[in-house]
Amino acid sequence: MTDLLSLTPDAARGALAAWLAARAEPGYRLAQILPRLWQRPVGSWEEATDLPAALRAQLGDAFPLTRLSCDAAQQSSDGTEKFLWKLADGEAVESVLIPEGKRRTLCISSQVGCALGCVFCATGRMGFRRNLSAGEIAGQVREAVRRDRAVKPTNVVFMGMGEPLLNWDAVDTALTILNHADGLGIGARHITVSTVGILPNLARLAQRPEQFRLAVSLHAPTAALRRELMPIEKKYSLPEVMRALGQFRRRVTLEYVLIGGKNDSLTQADELAQLARPVGALVNLLPLHPGGAPDLTPSDRPRMLAFARRLKRHGVEAVLRRSRGLDISAACGQLRVELEARRKVRAEEHARVE
């Protein structure tokens, strides 16, 4: 059995062509079957009714399709929609669809949980469960398209659960699927990989010829503070990560979650500007969502505005992101953690009754 959805479209074409040839099927079958992977995706081969029934059954045996079933969907009052996908082994990951004018950005997960334990992050608190396959990563877009073809995502960001550059092989293939004309056909400049900066794989991403965008999670302007917030700092330090950005021929975004009294002073804005300006980076300022360590609080609005203004005064372009989907816990890892907490409470209630 081959998971065609975890192969690049070229590799899937090769596997299918060989399989069809071995069955002496006519040449045009390939052109009938291939688009059903990504362009006009079927839920199962049975849905490909333009194929003979016997062939559909054989395809089902040889190439079962990886599905993600929607375990929960929530729509926020601001239009943000959140999906909790159940995987074949019972694990679950999240995607968030964020409409913004003509743009529809789907925020996807690359791992179940995350090993890196950033203190402000709900996924980090959950720990690492497993890597997603390429089919499960790109499959989040596929399933969103299957739910509603009219709202195909125009942009994809790897800002859901997990650290994409710690699952490089699958992310590498998923990037090809997302971008390839025989895949989902999303322009490379509309696909953003967000990472804390896993150096060896950052270099691999930089070497890809397509113009994929890079966002680096900084969250602190000094190594000492970053180490407090993000344990990965011990392995890949801030100065090294900043140096590595030179490998990218395109503009990089620095992500910075504003945490009250931690990393939001004007002096820290000055320090951040000193990092961002030489590399011409854009700074994305994110309001802190709940779900991480309980003692962390978001910066208040005037403080966020002052921080953004200060960066701009240094000639650094900064965007203060609105908090989207707060009412549906639409930050990384939150829906899954929330559902598990509810289930746990229910289980505890049961235990008390018994």
Closest CA to 76 of 286, 335, 297: 335
Active site (annotated) includes residue 25: no
How many CA atoms does the CB half-sphere of 296 hold within 13 Å?
21
Instruction: Return the HEC string of 251-267.
Output: CEEEEEEEECCCCCCHH
Determine if 298 is a binding residue for ligand SF4 (CB under 6 A): no
Closer of 139 and 292 to ligand SAH (Cβ) = 292
Determine if 159 is a binding residue for ligand SAH (CB under 6 A): yes
The bridge status of strand 252-258 relative to strand 213-217 is parallel
Q: Exactly one of 20, 93, 97, 121 binds ligand SF4 (CB under 6 A); which one?
A: 121
Closer of 34 and 339 to ligand SF4 (Cβ) = 339
Residue in the structure block whose two tokens are 């293939």: 173
Q: How many Å apart are CA 196 and CA 118, to the nearest integer? A: 10
Active site (annotated) includes residue 332: yes
Q: Exactly one of 25, 81, 163, 264 binds ligand SF4 (CB under 6 A); which one?
A: 163
Q: Which stretch binds ligand SAH (CB under 6 A): 89-97, 155-163, 174-182, 245-253?
A: 155-163
- Which residues on adjacent β-strands are paired with residue 97? 81, 106
The bridge status of strand 282-287 relative to strand 252-258 is parallel
Q: Are 160 and 332 in contact (CB under 8 A)?
A: yes
291 binds, among ligand SAH, ligand SF4, none (CB under 5 to 8 A by kind): ligand SAH
- Residues in contact with ligand SF4, counted by CB under 6 A, come to a total of 12
Residue in the structure block whose two tokens are 């000492």: 224
* Residue facing ligand SF4 at closest CB distance: 124
Determine if 93 is a binding residue for ligand SF4 (CB under 6 A): no
Q: Which of 107, 114, 121, 332 is catalytic?
A: 332
Q: How many Å apart are CA 27 and CA 22, to the nearest integer? A: 12
Determine if 137 is a binding residue for ligand SAH (CB under 6 A): no
Q: How many Å apart are CA 11 and CA 104, to the nearest integer? A: 29
289 binds, among ligand SAH, ligand SF4, none (CB under 5 to 8 A by kind): ligand SAH
C-alpha dihedral over 190, 193, 182, 211, to 10 degrees?
60
Q: Which stretch binds ligand SF4 (CB under 6 A): 30-38, 49-57, 76-84, 116-124?
A: 116-124
Q: How many Å apart are CA 296 and CA 291, to the nearest integer? A: 9
Determine if 167 is a binding residue for ligand SAH (CB under 6 A): no
Q: Which of 94, 143, 163, 233 is catalytic?
A: 94
Interactions with ligand SAH, residue window 185-224 (CB under 6 A): 194-196, 217
Closer of 20 and 166 to ligand SF4 (Cβ) = 166
Determine if 9 is a binding residue for ligand SAH (CB under 6 A): no
Q: How many Å apart are CA 337 and CA 292, to the nearest integer? A: 11
The end-to-end CA distance of the chain, in Å, is: 46
Which residues have a Cβ under 8 Å from the Cβ of 64 and sit 6 or more positions away?
A: 1, 3
Interactions with ligand SAH, residue window 330-349 (CB under 6 A): 331-332
Q: Which residues bind ligand SAH (CB under 6 A)?
A: 120-121, 158-159, 163, 194-196, 217, 255, 257, 286, 288-289, 291-292, 331-332
Positions marked catalytic:
94, 332
Q: Which residues bind ligand SF4 (CB under 6 A)?
A: 114, 116-118, 121, 123-124, 162-163, 196, 217, 332
